Chain A
Amino acid sequence: MSELYFKRPMPHGGKLVERVITDKKVAKKYLKSCEKYCAVYDIKPTLHYKRGVPVRNVYREIMSVCYGFFSPVEGSMTSAELESVLTKRRLLSGWVFPYPILFDISKEDYKRLGVSEGDRLILRLKGKPFAMLDIEEIYEIDPEELANRTFGSPETNPEVVQEKFDDKHPGWVIYRSHQPIILAGKYTIINEPIFKPPFDRFWVPPRNCREIFEQRGWRTAIAHQTRNVPHVGHEFLMKNAAYTGDVEPSHGILVNAIIGVKRRGDYPDEAILEAHEAVHKAGYIKPERHIVTYTLWDMRYGNPLESLLHGIIRQNMGCTHHMFGRDHAAVGEYYDKFATQILWLKGIPSYGFDKPVNEVDGGLLIRPQNMREFWYCPVCKEMAYSENCNHAKQKEKLSGSLIRGLVAEGVQPPTIIMRPEVFKVVVKWWKKFGYPFVNEKYVQWKEEELEVDLPDLD
């Protein structure tokens, strides 16, 4: 029988990247030795290139790199690595990676810092030492070209790209808003941030996550990507996708939320995490089979490209499977609705995948569980799977937007759409922020406050 069991996949690239100095004495020594010779840079949010509102904070990428979520990436990419990612979606080592990860600064800051290759830069967050960047290379980019090449176009990627990316696409805007000077090199966190509630209890870096799976005896675990509070359709997606396993259904469901700058109209991060927690607290899924976690990342909404990153993160966390639905990590109509599933089932040659992601060299080991959709069927009188239910004409589709519409008008969604415990969480944070969704005020507040505070190193 055991030959039928799935094994927990190795981290992407072979081993987990962990670039965090946890010993304060050692961290202080590093800082001390830097006092005379290292420049200091205060991390600032990336601002929208036209509107000036925050769209990203590079601290989230530094956290995700140093705690191993993005293994095997170890820092800000060199120009050769960037080129390799943009042309082949591969790191120079050959491992698949979809997006540029860059530490960008303005020309003015570059001049002021006076750094050159071989220097170490101390990065401060909220005025306190946070991380070091060992500069291997300094180069200049054209942010518009970077944004265009990151996502492609209907001409270069005709298999799945339907519309030209523009400033209505939040991911394109993030790269377009990058500063032109790139400092490439490895990051090391020297002062571990302290997460604020409620983020503290959902912070589970890959090593800890793998340990939890081990302790719980989860041989198989399926990942659920989210940037939303769960409606009943999401719950059914989780429950049904989890029937996939090896010789029995998946032992566990790992909810991994993407926490970072959100679009107006999304739910606040705090509500997203606690609402998923409410699903197991209220027993809709047993808490023994369901963990809620997150990754810090300002979402790029790159549908198939984002699915690669999601696969990498959750493989690093130890999952054997990843569920993918329609319009995965998508916004607007830039991509084919099933672009992610095309990538994982057939490949997308123009993005560097002439075969499915699991079959290419340097590819992923986590298995896709491609799901179609769930709808409410008034004939079956239940939440039904689109490929099972033969009442397509009568179907009533759930969508996050439908629920947002109800919420905004103060109408409590029926329990068939959203669990009352989940709605309570939405209202809890609505009361705190004076608004149920992300708005300009929330983004400004959140990007000043961030998810963390930095302790004194003294």
Chain B
Amino acid sequence: MEYILEVFLDDYRLNKIKGSPVEQNIEAIFGGELKVLRVKVGEEVKNEILKAFETARIDSRACITDTPVAFKRSLFEEIAKQKSLDEEVVKAVLAKIEEIKQLAAKESEYLPPPDIETD
């Protein structure tokens, strides 16, 4: 079975991959309101991710979700660096897993809230 890692793109990220071959793989979803890149991985890599992160899970769309922000950030950086959406980019991220786990440990304590007005 194939599993998917989604990488959401904001303006900063869109800029970073501008002109690269992955730009053609950008998908617009939810009526064009979200832009996303999709990386497909096999069973082995999926298991490695689930093992590495306690919160990670597979959702109803076969997407691997709830991975730490540090992992997602690193995944995007690797995509931008390798200009590819192959499974290899995930393997490159997993090669730095200890470093990512350290960052993830910090982010499990605090994440800065967005600056929007609340009651």
Chains A and B come from one and the same complex: yes
Given contacts A265-B66, A401-B63, contact A439 B109 (CB under 8 A): yes
Q: Is the CB of A406 within 8 A of B8?
A: yes
B59 at interface (Cβ–Cβ under 8 A)? yes
For residue A409, which residue of chain B has the nearest CB?
B69
Chain A residue contacts of B114, Cβ below 8 A: 410, 412, 427
Which residue in A265, A411, A431 is a CB contact (below 8 Å) of B113?
Answer: A431
B112 at interface (Cβ–Cβ under 8 A)? yes
Chain A residue contacts of B34, Cβ below 8 A: 406, 414, 417
For residue A406, which residue of chain B has the nearest CB?
B8
Q: Is the CB of B110 within 8 A of A434?
A: yes
Q: Is the CB of B72 within 8 A of A409?
A: yes
B116 at interface (Cβ–Cβ under 8 A)? yes
A interface SS class: loop
Q: Is the CB of A435 within 8 A of B110?
A: yes
Q: Is the CB of A431 within 8 A of B118?
A: yes
Q: Is the CB of B116 within 8 A of A427?
A: yes
B10 at interface (Cβ–Cβ under 8 A)? yes
Q: Is the CB of B116 within 8 A of A412?
A: yes
Q: Is the CB of A405 within 8 A of B72?
A: yes
Which residue in A327, A399, A417 is a CB contact (below 8 Å) of B61?
Answer: A399
Q: Is the CB of B61 within 8 A of A397?
A: yes
Listed residue (A331, A402, A416, A431) with the most chain B CB atoms within 10 angstroms of its CB: A402
Q: Is the CB of B111 within 8 A of A436?
A: yes
Given contacts A424-B119, A431-B113, A440-B108, contact A381 B31 (CB under 8 A): yes
A416, B6: Cα distance in complex, Å = 18
A381 to chain B, nearest CB (A): 7
B interface SS class: loop
Given contacts A376-B30, A381-B31, A409-B72, contact A399 B59 (CB under 8 A): yes
B12 to chain A, nearest CB (A): 11
A65, B91: Cα distance in complex, Å = 50
B86 to chain A, nearest CB (A): 21
Chain B residue contacts of A425, Cβ below 8 A: 118
For residue A278, which residue of chain B has the nearest CB?
B119
For residue B111, which residue of chain A has the nearest CB?
A435
Which residues in window 85-119 of B have CB below 8 A to A? 108-114, 116-119
Give residues in B with beta carbon < 8 Å to A: 6, 8, 10, 29-31, 33-34, 54-55, 57-61, 63, 65-66, 69, 72, 108-114, 116-119
> In the complex, given contacts A376-B29, A376-B31, A428-B119, what are 13 additional A-B residue pairs having Cβ atoms less than 8 angstroms apart?
A327-B60, A397-B60, A402-B6, A402-B61, A408-B72, A409-B69, A411-B8, A412-B116, A417-B34, A427-B118, A428-B118, A434-B110, A440-B108
